[in-house]
Each structure stands twice: as C-alpha cells, then as structure tokens.
C-alpha cells in the first residue's frame, strides 16, 4: 500500500480564496461600488471554478487508484481460483475467428497437439478479452433473472447448475442478428438479492437506446470489462428493476475499450463533472454554506486588514 500512501490526495475543500479585498471607498459613487462588487464576484466565480477543477482532478486520481486496487484484487483472485471448465461453443469460436481476421492463422497446423493448444489458447484469449461480470443489486423477493443494462436480450434457456440452487438464465443479444454477445444471469450464492451477470463477447453495434446517461451513471461503477455499457434502458423486452452496482473485470487485458460497447472514461468524467457541478449548484444547502464561508472569509480579511 506504499503506492497509495505516497500518492495521497487531499480531497478536503479549501475555502481559502484569495479574493481581493472589496475596495469600496466611502466617498465613491454607487456605480463604482457595483463595478467593484462585480469584479469581486467574478473573481469568486473564477476561484470556485478552479476549486471545482481541482476537485475533479482529485476525483480522477482517486478513481485511478480505485481501478488499480480493483485490478490488483482481481489478479490475485484469479490466481487463486482454478479456471472453470468450459466446453467449446460454436459462438465462441465464431467470436475468436472474427477477432483474428487479419492476423496469423494457425489453421495450417495439422498436429493434433498443436490444435489442442491453439484451441486452449483460443479459449483463454476469448476469456481474457471478452468476459466480464457485473453484479446487480435487486430485491431478494424478485424472482426474475432480468437485469437492466441498456441492451435488448432474448432469453434462450434456463438451467439449474450444481454449484448454485438458483437457476441460471441464458440470454443472447437481440439488438442485432449479427451480434453474438451472450449473457448469463444467476443469483449469487452468498446474497440472493444480488444478480450476477456474466457477459461473453463484445457488442458490434451501438446501444439501442442511448438513454438517459445520467441515470446510468448514477450508480454504475465500471472497472474494466467489455460488454455492458453504463446506461439504463427506457424500454426493453427484458425490462428490469435491477440496477448495476459494480463491475468486476475478469479480463487482464488493457486493450482500449470499444466505443460501441461502453462509454469512454473522458466522456464519463465530463458527465460526472457536469453532474457534480449541477447537483452542487442546485443544492441550496451547499450554496448557502458556500456563501456563508465566502462572506465569513471576506469579513475575516476585512477585520485583519483594519
């Protein structure tokens, strides 16, 4: 944890603003006083903007640290758990073949061992690059295995697995026929109120409903992964009450995220900044507290300079 202690970020709000003292001459005209007041307010505004920028930068640093921490946790967790046995599925091969278009083909090899190795590597590659897991908080009484992630899904199967008494539902992306993204949804063994959605593959199309990104950003914490975008569907065939609370990326790859499959971080950052600024300025308590702090500070400065 040295890296975190060394890069400590002070997130406390510094309300010490270097506003120039209000120079209102006793014998000056009201117009000059207004101009001075305007200049003072402008300076305050500028200072507050700088503070907000600083806050956002601090947020960015903290978010980066969180990502590093989560990735670290995932790596150690992955090392401890043995890889799940999974048979090869045609869809997976299809996904891989599309992924290696233009690359070096290994199909020329006729050796069975090589083919086996290639198949294994293929599966591992697919697993690393395409699989992500999302946890959705929902009502424990809600028995529907439906989650709200902005895409339309078609359910094609349900199965009770051995390791979990809750049934597992299988979904295919219904937004585009060519999209081979699949999703498995199952209740967590530990917490029945948590839905675990496992996404396989990457959407090759934009989200059907570019919705209310603010609502999606409210509670979605994305840390890597590839499939789901942070959004909430206005209406989908599988409309859900469950909302995503966190994403744990099972992949180790640091490849850039697809613009079609998720919102880029700068975009998220921008939206978050806007949302933060909006919520702060709309909050009467915050503005009142800020005004009190500023006026108090000004009063204090005036007192010390007298």
Which residues lie near DNA (CB under 7 A)?
85-91, 153-159, 161-163, 168-170, 174, 182, 184, 237-238
User: 174 or 257, CB closer to DNA?
Assistant: 174
Residue 181 contacts residue 205 (beta carbons within 8 Å): no
User: 48 or 174, CB closer to DNA?
Assistant: 174
User: 23 or 154, CB closer to DNA?
Assistant: 154
Between CA 228 and CA 23 the distance in angstroms is: 56
**Under 8 Å CB-to-CB from 228, ≥6 apart: which residues?**
132, 134, 149, 150, 151, 197, 199, 244, 247, 261, 262
Least Å distance, CB 180 to DNA, is 9
Burial (CB count within 10 angstroms: exposed 0-12, middle 13-18, buried 19+), residue 284: exposed
Between CA 253 and CA 112 the distance in angstroms is: 28
Provide the sign of the torsion angle of the four alpha carbons 55, 212, 134, 151, taken in this order. Answer: negative
Between CA 83 and CA 80 the distance in angstroms is: 9
Least Å distance, CB 238 to DNA, is 4
Least Å distance, CB 133 to DNA, is 12
User: 159 or 270, CB closer to DNA?
Assistant: 159
Least Å distance, CB 83 to DNA, is 10
Least Å distance, CB 119 to DNA, is 8
Residue 134 contacts residue 149 (beta carbons within 8 Å): yes
User: 46 or 159, CB closer to DNA?
Assistant: 159
Least Å distance, CB 1 to DNA, is 36
User: 58 or 166, CB closer to DNA?
Assistant: 166
Residue 245 has, within 13 A of its CA and on its CB side, a CA count of: 10
How do 131-137 and 153-160 pair as beta strands? Answer: unpaired
């Amino acid at each position: 944890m040295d890296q975190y202690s060394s890069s400590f970020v002070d997130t406390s709000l510094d309300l010490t603003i270097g506003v120039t003292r209000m120079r209102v001459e006793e014998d000056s005209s009201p117009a000059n006083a207004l101009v001075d007041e305007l200049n003072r307010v402008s300076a305050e505004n500028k200072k507050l903007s700088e503070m907000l920028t600083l806050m956002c930068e601090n947020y960015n640093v903290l978010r980066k640290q969180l990502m590093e921490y989560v990735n670290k946790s995932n790596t150690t967790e992955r090392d401890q758990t043995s890889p799940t046995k999974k048979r090869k599925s045609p869809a997976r091969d299809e996904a891989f073949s599309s992924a290696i278009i233009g690359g070096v083909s290994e199909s020329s090899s006729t050796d069975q061992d090589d083919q086996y190795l290639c198949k294994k590597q293929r599966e591992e590659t697919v697993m690393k690059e395409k699989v992500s897991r999302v946890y959705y908080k929902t009502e424990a009484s809600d028995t529907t295995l439906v989650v709200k992630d902005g895409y339309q899904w078609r359910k094609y199967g349900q199965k009770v697995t051995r390791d979990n008494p809750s049934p597992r539902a299988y979904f295919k992306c219904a937004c585009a026929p060519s999209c081979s993204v699949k999703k498995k949804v199952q209740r967590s063994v530990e917490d029945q109120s948590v839905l675990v959605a496992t996404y396989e593959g990457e959407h090759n199309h934009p989200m059907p409903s570019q919705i209310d990104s603010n609502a999606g950003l409210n509670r979605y914490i994305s840390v890597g992964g590839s499939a789901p975008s942070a959004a909430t569907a206005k209406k989908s065939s599988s409309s859900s009450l469950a909302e995503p609370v966190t994403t744990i990326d099972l992949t180790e790859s640091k490849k850039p995220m697809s613009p079609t499959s998720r919102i880029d971080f700068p975009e998220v950052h921008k939206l978050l900044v806007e949302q933060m600024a909006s919520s702060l300025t709309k909050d009467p308590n915050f503005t009142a507290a800020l005004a009190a702090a500023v006026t108090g500070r000004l009063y204090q400065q005036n007192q010390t300079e007298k």
